[in-house]
Amino acid sequence: MTADKPRLGYVGLGLMGGPMARRLLAAGYPLTVWNRDPAKAEALGDAGAAVAVSAAAAARASDIVFTCLTDTAAVEAVVFGPDGIASGARRGGVLVDFSSMRPDAAAGFAARLRAETGMGWIDAPVSGGVPGASNGTLAVMAGGDPTDFERVAPVVAHLAGRFTLMGPNGAGQTTKLINQMIVGCGFAIVAEACQLAEDAGIDPARIPQALAGGRADSPVLQQYLPRMAARDREVQARIAIMIKDLTTVMDEARRLGSALPMTGLATELHKLLAKRGLADADNAETIRLYTNE
C-alpha cells in the first residue's frame, strides 16, 4: 500500500465494471486492470490504467482487487483458474467481488481464498445499473469480515452512495437476492401499468410525475416507466442477468422452504421474454410482454 492510497486492481470491465474502474482511476488511485476481452482493458489503459497480462498479474500489483463478473462460474474461473487472482494474491490483501451469485458459493470461495492465500474476500453485489456505476451512486450490499470491510470502505465510497455490511460472507449476496426480488417484480408491474395507461388513453410518461412521493413511488417507476413508454431500447442491464438472479432466488427459496409466489411469476415472465429472443435486451423491454411489437 502506498503512503496515501492503496494500489487497486480491477478485473471484469463490462457494462458495470468499466465505468466503476474509470471512477477509481479518476479518483487518483494507482489502478491495474485485466479483462478476458483485451479490448476493454486497452480502453482503460488509454485512460491511464496499467494493463496486466493476466488476472494473477493484476492481483500481484494490487493491495485491493475488485471483480465484476457475470456469474458464479465466471468468478470461480477468474479467481481460482489458471493465472487467476489466487495465483497472484497478496497475503493481507482483500478481494471485493461486485458480481452476483449464490450466497453459499460466495461464502465457499471466501473461505477457500483465505485458506489458500491469506487474502480476504468481501462479497459486494451492487444495485443501480449503469447510471449508478457511472455516477458513483450504487447501493452495495456487503458480506465479510468487518476489518476487511473497514479497509475497503473508503475506496468503495467513490463508487457507492451506500455501502452496508450485512453480515459474514454470503450475506451481501442474500441481500442482493432480496433486492432482485423487489426489482424483478417491479419491472413486471410497471410494464403492466404502462400498458393500462396506454389502453386508457393516458400518457404513461406522466405517471411517474403524478405518483412521485406517494406510496407507489420508486426508482423502478421513475426510471423505467418513461423508458417503457418511449420504447427506449438502450441496454443498461440485460434481461438474462435478471433471469439468472431470479432463478437463484427461487433456488434459495426451495433450500430455505420460503414461499415466493410473486417472485416465481416474475421469474417466468422474464423467461418468456428470453424465449422471444430478448435475453440480451434491456429490462425496459418487459413492456413487450403486453404489445405486438
Parse the chain into domains and list their residue ranges: 8-168, 174-289
Per cent of the chain over pLDDT 90 is 93
Q: Name the fold adopted by 174-289.
A: N-(1-d-carboxylethyl)-l-norvaline Dehydrogenase; domain 2 (1.10.1040)
Q: Could you tell me which of 152, 149, 182 has the C-alpha nearest to residue 166?
A: 149
**Bridge partners, residue 169, by sequence:** none
Q: Establish whether 176 is a catalytic residue.
A: yes
User: What does the alpha-carbon distance between residue 234 and residue 221 come to, in Å, rounded to a whole number?
Assistant: 17
pLDDT digits (tens, 9 = 90+) for 136-190: 999 999 999 999 999 999 999 999 999 999 999 999 999 999 999 999 999 999 9
**Residue 181 burial (C-beta neighbours within 10 Å; 0-12, 13-18, 19+):** buried
| Domain 8-168 falls under CATH 1.10.150.120 | no
Write out pLDDT tens, residues 94-117. 999 999 999 999 999 999 999 999
**Terminal-to-terminal C-alpha distance of the chain:** 54
- In tens, the pLDDT along 210-233 reads 999 999 999 999 999 999 999 999
Using CA atoms, how far apart are residues 56 and 16, in angstroms rounded to an integer? 21
Evaluate whether 8-168 and 174-289 have a shared fold: no
DSSP string, 166-207: -SSTTHHHHHHHHHHHHHHHHHHHHHHHHHHHHHTT--GGGH
pTM: 0.89
pLDDT at 2 over 70: no
Q: What cell was used for 229? A: 413508454
Cα 237–Cα 75–Cα 150 angle in degrees, nearest 5: 90
Residue 292, number of CB atoms within 10 A of its CB? 4
Please pick, among 40, 176, 244, 275, the residue that the annotation labels catalytic.
176
